[in-house]
Amino acid sequence: MKRYFVLVIALLLTLSACSSSPGDIEVHNAWVRPTAKGENAAVYLTLHNHSSTADELIGASSTVADNVEIHESMMENDVMQMHRIDSVPLAADEEIMLEPGGLHVMLIDLKQDLVLGEHISVVLHFKNHEDIVVEVHIEDQMPDENHMHEESGTPHP
Residue 21 is classified by DSSP as -
Identity of the residue numbered 150: E
Tens of pLDDT, residues 37-86 = 999 999 999 999 999 999 999 999 999 999 999 999 988 888 889 999 99
Q: Is the dihedral of CA 156, 97, 64, 70 positive or negative?
A: negative
Tell me the pTM: 0.79
Q: Name the architecture of domain 23-156.
A: Sandwich (2.60)
pLDDT confidence tier of residue 112, bands split at 50, 70 and 90? very high
How many angstroms separate the CA atoms of 125 and 61, rounded? 8
- Average pLDDT of every residue of the chain: 84
